[in-house]
Structure 1
Amino acid sequence: MKANTPALSLADRSWLRYFTFIALYFAEGLPMGILFIGIPAWMAMNNKTVAEISAFDVACALPWTFKFFVAPLMDRYTFLPMGRKRPWVIICQLGLFASLMVMAMVKDPLNHLSLLVAGGFLVSVFGAAQDAATDGLAVDTIPPDEQARANAFMGGARMIGSSFALALSTWLLERYNFTVSTGTIGIMVGLITWVPILIREQPGEKQLPWSAGAASRFTQENQINSWRAMYRSLYMAFRLKNSFLLALLLLLSQGAYNYFEKLLPIFAVKVTGWTHIQYSNAFAMADLTGGIAGILLGGWLIERFGSKRMIYLYFFFIAAQTLVLSFVTVYWKTTPFVYSYIVIYRWVNAFAKIGVFAIAMQCCSKKVSASQFTFYMTIGAVGSMIGAALISPAKNGFDWSTCFIFFAAMMLLCAVVLRGLNIKKLEDQISALAEPEEHAYLEV
């Protein structure tokens, strides 16, 4: 096979970009389904305490807060003959596969919780790193006119991967054992690793370290070879008013979503009378169908009607839907009503996230792609933690209807922030950062 085979270059083939990122984000979703939903539910069914389940949850969530420290390393150091981000994607995919196989070897995990917690932490380390590397590769290789559709494919694939892993691992866990369940998910991640191995970022690059090829002009021009230059680029990007508004939008929206989605299972169990398994199944079905809908419609709607217009619509729809929920208390114990609400909410939520993430990707500099996009995602993660922290004071001080109204108000606040965000101006300013002589003249 020739080193410059155009059919295997992400830079030259849109279908290959879509296929690659669907595969990588599907792989990212696989461990998320078992770590954040499947295993905690299994522990609960086996009478583990809230403290024990919480310890596992914290161990799995903690590495995702460290992404911003990993991403600059990926921007600063790489093996350019194989591309700027592809070497990191391959390394992280292999690490994710290996960590899942190591976790699968834990014997009798319910009676060796320290090993189970350590395994969850290790898998999340590589899962978070894989996410940062894949995000950077996406920013580097997806052109602006494809970003909305690509984000729809990526977000949908991750939701489908998570739902698929949740259903498959739960079935395998009940029919066989923990080793078979976790090991099967690990093997699937390992098979998907062939995708980044067999493609190239740019024509003429090495497929493997020992293959023929050389660094492309694009990667050489966009690579930053000093920490000072990197942090200067990041500082120049984030000192812009619209960058701040975009970060604020991510903080508020992700915080609002996590606040509400941590309330929903408590509401479903304590008010509607569902079991934990019923809620998990409903959430998995909502994510599966929402992921498919996101792939088929999410990107197209943004391309057809514009990102701001559609995100406005999503925010207002979620707010209106939640206000209806807060007032129709007579239907709270009706399973079909609550089930329908969760499915519709997750659909619209998926579309809204696709739109906001597409804006974040659109407004990233290719010179610091992994660091800048990861920073936006880290801000969102901080918002998620704040949202979770609001649950206790809200629920202890107010009734269910008021708690839901708070969420609707958060969605309306997100719409206000979105109104002040000038996406085109921010995109132009970020593009200008590629020209050093223009740095001093950027309008803040």
Structure 2
Amino acid sequence: MKKKIRRIKEAQTRSLSDNSRARYFTFSALYTAQGIPEGITYFALPAWLAMNGRSALEIASLVSVMLIPWSFKIIIAPLMDRFTYLSMGRKRPWVIFGQLGLILSFLFLGMVEDPLNNLSGLMMVGFLVNFFGAFQDVATDGMAVEVIPAKEQARANGLMWGSKTVGISASLIIGTWLINNIGFSLAVSSLSIVVACIMISPIYFRERQGEKMLPWTRGKISRHSKMIQVKSWGRILKNLYRVVVLKSSLILCLGIFLLGIMFGLVDTLLPIFSIQELGWDNSHFSNILSITTVIGGVLGMLLGGYLVDYFGKIKMLSIYLIFTTSLITSFAFMTNLWSSSIVAIAFILSYYTLYTFLCIGIFASAMHLCWKTVAATQFTLYMALSNMGRAIGAGLLGVLKMHFNWEMIFICIALIPFLIIFIIQLIKFSKHRKRVKSFDTVPYTLATPPVIKN
């Protein structure tokens, strides 16, 4: 009897759905792993190429090609919802596969011969690194939606987002040091060791009790996974349509899209504004940005999720949006203080701290609205809308700059979070969850037959 109790406790300890500490640790580790390819391919590698005399056009072309795989997320997500090795869990096999792909792609990146004069080789392997980075991102988000309880989603998102920021910054700093001291090939290849260590976590912990650790070990399909697994493409599309067209989901889609426009505007504005208006050089701007984003990430990890969990998603999002509107508006009217480095740095630090807190709140809200049957696809759809908004915001800045000065542009940007404050008040989580819960008990048909009363 004691042995049986011990086995049950051990199974619960290794089950992500039953152990909150295991959830926090595993998803923090996986998000750290997501930050590694971004830190290397988006920052360390371009900086190294620039230092060695490659042109801005060449570097920009390289980065643009490496970014392409992230647009594939909306295609990858339905594949993960449709196909999996259920005896190991619904998303955990895909997470492990993505991690393995990252390890191999980093090794391949380190094997590129004469990388300074072989940009086509860097493009191809960099594309591969980011493909598996995007792949693991979708799988991790899908698994998080399915195993993290609603009451923990904000806190978990805080830890995850902070861990990713740390992963980006650490890989940028350490990767740059390694490249400069031991060479590109060894430096990049050594990152595969870090990813391999992180992969131990999703291998050791299972999604649910009784599942296999690996394909050749003992275990079985959990009743929960079997019940919610969708077995046809038509069903996935129908289920996605059912949940996305609900009022709260549509409102969140609009809010995420508008927020993405704001993020795209500010991200594109800051380097141009700081260099052309404030007179900074690109090195100074990069240093300030790195420091402020790390501080924002750590604050988000320690406070962002806790505040959303304690006070509620809509309340805290509203507060963050009010502060964001006030911050940008105030800075717009401080033109006489823009020359002060302290004021400019304080603005960037405050903005990226609020940016982190907003991302934590909006991601937690998106998770809470997801239907587990199509969680990966639905969550990825929300993120795709955010990315689309970012792209539009980045392009919109050029149009605004043609017609307005910097002060007016900041005021225009401040109107976006002000508008979102009112939009998100229409989101009703409890009503949405009740509706989604009814989907699991009432089968869906294209035409519901009439009820015949005797």
Q: TM-score range by the shorter chain?
A: over 0.9
In 1, distance between residues paired with 2:7 and 2:37? 35
Could you tell me how far 1:177 is from its partner in structure 2? Answer: 2.3
Quickly say closer, same or farther: Cα 1:180–1:287, change in 2 above 3 A. farther
Could you tell me how far 1:274 is from its partner in structure 2? Answer: 2.2
Question: 1:204-252 deviations in whole A, cap 9, x for unaligned?
Answer: 1110111011001011011111112111111111122221111111111
- Does structure 1 residue 315 correspond to structure 2 residue 314? no
Give the counterpart of 2:303 among 280, 297, 307: 297
Question: 1:393-433 deviations in whole A, cap 9, x for unaligned?
Answer: 12233221122112111121222321222232222222222
Could you tell me how far 1:49 is from its partner in structure 2? Answer: 2.8
Question: 1:281-331 deviations in whole A, cap 9, x for unaligned?
Answer: 222211222121111101111122111111111111111111122121222
Residue 215 (structure 1) aligns with: 221
In 2, distance between residues paired with 1:5 and 1:412? 48
Residue 427 (structure 1) aligns with: 433
Give structure 1 stretches of 5+ with no counterpart. Answer: none
Give the counterpart of 1:126 among 125, 132, 154: 132
Could you tell me how far 1:186 is from its partner in structure 2? Answer: 2.7
TM-score after normalising by structure 1: 0.95
Residue 173 (structure 1) aligns with: 179
- Does structure 1 residue 362 correspond to structure 2 residue 368? yes
Could you tell me how far 1:437 is from its partner in structure 2? Answer: 4.0
Give the counterpart of 2:155 among 136, 149, 155: 149
* Matched letter for residue 370 of structure 1: A
Quickly say closer, same or farther: Cα 1:401–1:184, change in 2 above 3 A. farther
Residue 115 (structure 1) aligns with: 121
Which structure has the larger Rg? 2
Q: Alignment partner of 1:193: what SS?
A: helix
Question: 1:348-385 deviations in whole A, cap 9, x for unaligned?
Answer: 11011100100000110111111111111111111111
Residue 28 (structure 1) aligns with: 34
- Does structure 1 residue 393 correspond to structure 2 residue 395? no
* Identical pairs, percent: 40
* Matched letter for residue 92 of structure 1: G
In 1, distance between residues paired with 2:303 and 2:176? 29
* Matched letter for residue 152 of structure 1: G
Quickly say closer, same or farther: Cα 1:421–1:282, change in 2 above 3 A. same
User: How many residues are aligned here?
Assistant: 441
Q: Alignment partner of 1:390: what SS?
A: helix
- What aligned pairs does 1:50-89 form with structure 2 within 5 A after superposition? 50-89=56-95
Quickly say closer, same or farther: Cα 1:168–1:303, change in 2 above 3 A. same
Residue 98 (structure 2) aligns with: 92
In 2, distance between residues paired with 1:2 and 1:282? 51
* Matched letter for residue 439 of structure 2: L
- Does structure 1 residue 413 correspond to structure 2 residue 426? no
**Contact 1:41-1:277 at 8 Å conserved across structures:** no
Residue 251 (structure 1) aligns with: 257
- What aligned pairs does 1:266-305 form with structure 2 within 5 A after superposition? 266-305=272-311
**Contact 1:160-1:287 at 8 Å conserved across structures:** no
Could you tell which deviates more after superposition, 116-125 or 417-426? Answer: 417-426
Q: Alignment partner of 2:17: what SS?
A: coil
Question: 1:15-47 deviations in whole A, cap 9, x for unaligned?
Answer: 000100000011101111122222233333444
TM-score after normalising by structure 2: 0.93
Residue 349 (structure 1) aligns with: 355
* Matched letter for residue 341 of structure 2: T
Could you tell me how far 1:128 is from its partner in structure 2? Answer: 0.6
* Matched letter for residue 129 of structure 1: F
Residue 271 (structure 2) aligns with: 265
Could you tell which deviates more after superposition, 168-177 or 230-239? Answer: 168-177
**Contact 1:26-1:160 at 8 Å conserved across structures:** yes
Could you tell me how far 1:62 is from its partner in structure 2? Answer: 1.3
Residue 240 (structure 1) aligns with: 246
In 1, distance between residues paired with 2:444 and 2:101? 40
* Matched letter for residue 153 of structure 1: L
Could you tell me how far 1:2 is from its partner in structure 2? Answer: 6.3
Could you tell which deviates more after superposition, 259-268 or 415-424? Answer: 415-424
In 2, distance between residues paired with 1:245 and 1:307? 14
In 2, distance between residues paired with 1:286 and 1:182? 26
In 1, distance between residues paired with 2:181 and 2:400? 40
* Matched letter for residue 165 of structure 2: M
In 2, distance between residues paired with 1:212 and 1:294? 39
Could you tell which deviates more after superposition, 75-84 or 114-123? Answer: 114-123
Could you tell me how far 1:259 is from its partner in structure 2? Answer: 1.3
Give structure 2 stretches of 5+ with no counterpart. Answer: 1-5, 449-454
Residue 42 (structure 1) aligns with: 48
* Matched letter for residue 67 of structure 1: K
In 1, distance between residues paired with 2:261 and 2:187? 32
Q: Alignment partner of 2:343: what SS?
A: helix
* Matched letter for residue 116 of structure 2: L
Could you tell me how far 1:438 is from its partner in structure 2? Answer: 7.3
**Contact 1:5-1:204 at 8 Å conserved across structures:** yes
In 2, distance between residues paired with 1:325 and 1:371? 39
